[in-house]
Amino acid sequence: MELDAHLLARIQFAFTVSFHIIFPAFTIGLASYLAVLEGLWLKTKDDAYLTVYKFWLTIFAVAFAMGVVSGIVMSYQFGTNWGPFAEKTGPVLGPLLAYEVLTAFFLEAGFLGVMLFGLNRVGPKLHFTATLLVAIGTLISAFWILSANSWMHTPAGYLIEDGRYVPGDWLEIIFNPSFPYRFTHMVLAAYLTTAFVVGAVGAWHLLKNKANKPARLMFAMAVMMAAVVAPLQLFVGDMHGLNTQEHQPMKVAAMEGHFETQEGAPLILFGLPDLEEAETKYAVGVPKLGSLILAHDPNGEVTGLDAFPREDWPNVPLVFWCFRIMVGVGMLMIAFGLAGVVNALRKKLFEARWHHYWALAMGPLGFVAILAGWFVTEVGRQPYVVYGLMRTSEAASPIGAPGVAGSLLGFFIVYLIVFSAGVFYILRLMRRTPGADPEKPLKEGPLRPSHLADEILDQGETGAGAEHA
């Protein structure tokens, strides 16, 4: 019974956090993209930028609302379901989350209203400031939450008092060993994910009309991001992996499917990790490449799972497969970016329909990669909630299985409704032809930000009627 409640609580956390992460990941990228678009509009006075800005602003509003409401759940769930965890780590993790609220959430919420509804109240310059502050807010938020999460992987700067983890050195806590890598990796992932969504939408409209200027703009900007950021992400991801190898070698062993500690370890490409037999069956790999990557020596020793007690192993097949999904998507992204560069050099970026279909198929893959990556890092930390210090089994609140099952069912139903409706509305917003016939979507309800921006356009650059504080 006790175990069941514990498992249900874990499923509930995994479900609610997986649902949540999709939206901030998208809005972190989109907020920065919107800031760039508005900045370019102000600089060049080219209305195509404003058209694209308006197009994505409505989508941003829907995604942001979904991120906010699913995020409130997260800030309470540590207490409802993980009381002992909250109590023991509160002195260290609590202040990090409090700083997230104080430095990021208020900033985002305060200026989101101005960003969505205030264009003709404050004028373009101040409105751009609001967009910029929202974008900065999303990044500050990522900073704190990833610092807190990284501390759970590589705890540092703490002392133990009365069984609680209390702060010893705040700088060591905030900038714990895995934080810089995880933060960079995640922000780049958010940027890439957004770029591929934008690219897919641009491609969809290019397939309908390759002369559509806003669509060209979206697609070109997305390809540029993919070409630069996807290879960069490979590099950052590799550094993150080496950092994990240093601090959580067991996780890396699970990612690689290495059950045995060995010299000259292969890089296993595919295989079936079997926990019963403690081996990766049907492994197809490149000899010695594993050692070369992890130990920078083809004959170097690579720690396997056998170096750790069996009861400390994570779910190896899950970690192994999620890692391959993430890396596979990453490789596809790099290939897509390269193809885009080649097409651009041949002046065929807007002609190559195969590349547009490819972009369309890649649209949702960023989200897949982000979820897979988080499964690798979080499942790979199990059975610990704070790596090496506190087991997940010691962290759960004393709530019986029926209670957790009830709340899980509630979350499942409500999230299903909200998610389906939200995705449906977002897809419908993406289907609008950017720049053409702005009044048409009014049939589906007032699309107010675009509404607003139209009026700003009418006002010209003077920001007539704008009031200043």
Partner 1 sequence: MLDLPTIWAGLICIALLAYVVLDGFDLGVGILFPLGRNKDERDVMMNSVAPVWDGNETWLVLGGGGLFAAFPLAYSVLLTAFYAPVIAMLLALILRGVAFEFRFRTERARKYWDWAFIGGSTAAAFFQGVMIGAFVQGVAVEDGAYGGGWFDWLSPFSLLCGVGLVAGYALLGASWLVIKTEGEIQARMRALQLPLGAAVILLIGLVSTGTIFENEWVRERWFNLGSYVFLWIIPIFTAALAGAFFLAVRAKKEVTPFLLTLGLFGMSFAGLAASLSPYMIPPAITYYEAANPDSSLAFMLVGALILLPVILGYTGYAYWIFRGKVKVGEGYH
Q: Which parts of 73-92 interact with partner 1 (CB under 8 A)?
A: 73, 75-76, 78-80, 83-84, 86-92
- Distance in angstroms (rounded) separating the CA atoms of residues 53 and 34: 6
Residue 45 or 428 having the CB closest to partner 1: 428
* Contact call for residue 397 and partner 1 (CB under 8 A): yes
| 161 counts as binding partner 1 under rule CB under 8 A | yes
d(CA 348, CA 355): 10
Whose Cβ is closer to partner 1: residue 383's or residue 465's?
465
Residue from the set 21, 25, 93, 229 that interacts with partner 1 by CB under 8 A: 93
| Using rule CB under 8 A, residue 287 touches partner 1 | no
Residue 116 or 254 with smaller CB distance to partner 1? 116
Return d(Cα 72, Cα 17) in angstroms, integer.
Answer: 11
Choose, by CB under 8 A, the member of 44, 45, 102, 272 that binds partner 1.
102
Q: Quick one: tokens of 345?
A: 């050099």
Task: Give me the 291-330 binding string for partner 1, x by CB under 8 A, dash otherwise.
Answer: ----------------------------------------
62: Cβ contacts below 8 Å, ≥ 6 apart = 422, 425, 426, 429
Q: What's the sign of the alpha-carbon dihedral 323, 329, 333, 335?
A: positive
- Cβ-contact 298, 292 below 8 angstroms: yes
Report the site for partner 1 in 216-275 (rule: CB under 8 A).
none
Helical segments of 346-467, H only: 353-362, 365-379, 401-431, 448-459
Stretch that binds partner 1, among 162-170, 212-220, 315-323, 370-378 (CB under 8 A): 162-170
Helix (H, G, I), strand (E, B) or coil at 263: strand
Comparing C-alpha atoms, which of 180, 200, 128 is closest to residue 359? 200
Q: Which is nearer to partner 1, 71 or 434 (CB)?
A: 71
By CB under 8 A, is residue 427 in contact with partner 1? no
Q: Which stretch binds partner 1 (CB under 8 A): 29-37, 68-76, 258-266, 371-379?
A: 68-76
How far apart are CB 140 and partner 1 at their closest, in Å? 11
Structure tokens of 155?
A: 């705890």
Site for partner 1 in 47-66 (CB under 8 A): 61-62, 65-66
Q: How far apart are CA 422 and CA 417, in angstroms?
A: 8
| Contact predicate 203/219, CB 8 Å | yes
The torsion angles phi and psi of 375, rounded to 5 degrees, stand at -65, -40
Residue from the set 11, 36, 42, 95 that interacts with partner 1 by CB under 8 A:
95
CA end-to-end span of the chain? 60
Tell which one of 72, 269, 272, 284 touches partner 1 (CB under 8 A): 72
385 is a contact residue toward partner 1 (CB under 8 A): no
Q: Is residue 469 part of the contact set for partner 1 (CB under 8 A)?
A: yes
Q: How many residues bind partner 1 (CB under 8 A)?
A: 83
The residues that bridge with 384 in the sheet, in sequence order, are 391
Which among 166-174, 179-187, 278-286, 315-323 is the span making contact with partner 1, rule CB under 8 A?
A: 166-174
Distance separating alpha carbons of residues 166 and 158, to the nearest angstrom: 6
